[in-house]
Structure 1
Amino acid sequence: MTQESLTNAVPCLVIILLIVTEFHYDPEYFRFTPEMKMAFDECGYILVRGVLSASEVSKVKNAVEISKEIQENAFAIDDGEGGKSRLCIWSHPGNDITGMVARCEKVAGVSEKLLGGEVYHYHTKLMMKEAHTGGKFVWHQDYGYWYKNGFLFPNMLTVFMPVDECNRDNGCLQVLRGSHKCGRIEHLFIGGQTGADLERVEQLKKKLPLEFVEMKPGDGLYFHSNLLHMSSPNKSPNRRWAFLVAYSRADNDAVYEHHLPFCTPVHEVPNTAVIDCDDVDMSGKGFMDPTRDKTIKRERDS
């Protein structure tokens, strides 16, 4: 970094580094605050520790591990460097335990406050990085490819909730704090994935802090659709599964059909619905057919 670029970058770095992005969930006292909104607007994300309790995580973990539908609809994508990760994506939240997570106030309701209006459910996904073999996810913005699916505005976000611990050893998320303000970057195929223009990413890395987001099961990272993020391959002996819910503001539905149906109203439920639900039936979820998705290249079945 040159002296001139360092001088120009310092004020931006100082401001966004001083903003608190980490909060803690307490079922009795948790309230959405102006500080959360400011952090999201300025840095592109907030991290809420313990948004799901250990009991709630256990129920989600059991539901996704025993689901025949997930196994039948999961697919692998290549990272361009020999690694592969498996995904399963569905359109409708439903009434099972995974749907209660996607519809509860502490997930969907907080997302509404961050985006400044009612949200619709775009999709939920289970991301599965297995031990030793789980591939990386290249630098990208979610809106980099959601744009190609017909969304006119980036009024969208994702809530990332680990099922397993996410750390540097098993490929936790890395984010460029404040990168959502740079607007949508051109995205191209990298392996089987749609990734951001790496030359532009390298220039942004000179000006913005790179954060390793290490998370425990049940933590929640709420991040803007234009936030640049990636994750390294999982070369550790521990798997890294994560549960993600994507929302779009209700006034920002896709303008043409693509591989996922149009967004679904959330029909929000109280936070107690997560622990009270024992339904693990995932039929009728609208699982994605990856052969219709123009933004990924599915690995051929072996």
Structure 2
Amino acid sequence: MAQILNDADVKAFHKDGYVIVKNFFSKQEIDKLYSIATGDAVVKENAVDLNDQSGRKTKLTLWFTPGNDVYSMLLRSERMVKSVGKLLDSDSPVCHFHTKLMQKEPRVGGAWEWHQDYGYWYKNQFLFPDQLVSVMIALTEANKANGCLQVIKGSHKMGRVNHGFSGEQVGADMTMVNNALQTMEHVYVEIEPGDALFFHSNILHRSEANLSDKPRWSLISCYNSLSNHAYNDESTSWREPVKIVPDSALMDAAIGGASTDGDFLKKEKDPALKETGWEKEVATS
């Protein structure tokens, strides 16, 4: 049954920087979405690779404006948007910043280095990290063996940590990361298909390479408050309130995969991947 975050969930999110909701989407919903995603030619054509420090490639497809495809029925669903609205530090409408389909293939999927999402989005010049939140929906099982997400519990309370480049990725200052690891709990977020992980834009997190024989796919939707302006971002979805659809839309609609006219991320246009000079002063390994 569709659910919205309760008061205990919201309290846990603010205390720990994240909260896990089991079975946020049903097996039937995830089976439908995953079967479409794995055969989606548009998703494959618009995937980008970001090398980690070892040279392994982590693959993702990222787009900004929601449409009427199967992914948008999930991210525009009432349970998603209203739950996010309870977490954002604003009474303004909830907007969609972007969604990315993470594709960690067996034995080749690369790692994500320690970082905060706001370490990337700071370069987009969003002002308020408490008005940005991400929701990861597991499409396959995520565990230690296939490189599940890891978080440092409560690290969102540190504020923004300096970030530099780590391979083609943006990585957090490892001096601060190591200090955090000595102070706070290191958690492996092992979740099942349909589970949701809501996490703060400043929580430190990473994932290891997928060295197993099973894929790890997930959908991560990032939301923003209308009151949180991005002063260095060419996309427009972050300032357009989400057009909410009923929770039943994912299963009821005769919908398919991504549209060819979607506004997909191009690496050369991402402000977070452009060098400003100060990144070289940050130790990310």
* TM-score, reference length from structure 1: 0.86
Is 2:74 the counterpart of 1:101? Answer: yes
Tell me if 1:128 matches 2:133: no
Match of 2:155 in 1: 179
Matches within 5 A, 1:137-156: 137-154=112-129, 155-156=131-132
Aligned to 1:286: 263
CA contact (8 A) 1:96 1:278 kept: no
1:149 match: secondary structure: coil
Instruction: Return the match for 1:227 from 203, 208, 212.
Output: 203
Q: 2:24 aligns with which of 14, 31, 51?
A: 51
Shift of residue 262, structure 1, vs aligned partner: 4.5
Alignment equivalent of 1:254, drawn from 226, 230, 236: 230
Partner residue of 2:42 out of 50, 59, 69 = 69
Distance (Å, rounded) in 2 between the aligned partners of 1:225 and 1:152:
12
* Alignment partner, residue 15 of structure 1: none
Alignment: residue pair count: 269
Q: In the TM superposition, what is the alpha-carbon distance from 1:107 to its structure 2 partner?
A: 1.2
Q: Indicate whether 1:191 and 2:164 are aligned.
A: no
**How many angstroms does 1:253 deviate by?**
2.7
Contact 1:254 / 1:262 at 8 angstroms: preserved in 2? no
Q: Deviations over 1:247-288 (max 9, x none)?
A: 011111312334x44413211112111211221152232111
The one-letter code matched in structure 2 to 1:96 is D
Distance 1:86 1:125 in 2: 10
Structure 2: unaligned runs, 5 residues or longer: 275-285
Runs of 4+ in 1 over 6 A off after TM superposition: none
Give the Cα–Cα distance (whole angstroms) in 2 for the partners of residues 219 and 257 of structure 1.
Answer: 31
**Aligned partners of 1:128 and 1:134 also within 8 Å:** yes
Which residue in 1 is equivalent to 2:277? none
For the structure 1 residues 31 and 93, does the alpha-carbon distance in structure 2 shift closer, same or farther, using more than 3 Å as the test?
closer
SS in 2 for 1:114: coil
Are 1:295 and 2:268 an aligned pair? no
Quote the residue 2:186 is aligned against: 210
SS of residue paired to 2:21:
strand
Specify the SS of the correspondent of 2:171.
strand
Amino acid aligned to 1:138: E
Structure 1 residue 33, shift from structure 2 partner: 2.0
CA-based RMSD: 1.4
Measure how far apart 1:128 and its partner are.
0.9
Q: Where does residue 82 of structure 1 map in the other structure? A: 55
Is 1:163 the equivalent of 2:175? no
Query: Are the counterparts in 2 of residues 160 and 243 from structure 1 also a CA contact under 8 Å?
Result: yes
Bigger Rg, which one? 1
The CA distance in 2 between the partners of 1:32 and 1:127, in whole Å, is 24
Residue 31 of structure 1, CA deviation: 4.7
Amino acid at match of 1:74: A
Assess if the C-alpha contact under 8 Å between 1:151 and 1:255 holds in 2.
Answer: yes
Write the letter of the residue equivalent to 2:110. G
The offset of 1:60, in angstroms, is 1.0
Normalised TM-score (structure 2): 0.91
- For structure 1, the 5+ residue unaligned runs are 1-25, 298-302
Residue identity over aligned pairs, in percent, reads 39
Matched residue, 1:17: none
Amino acid at match of 2:73: M
Residues 57 and 159 of structure 1, relative CA distance in 2, 3 Å threshold: same
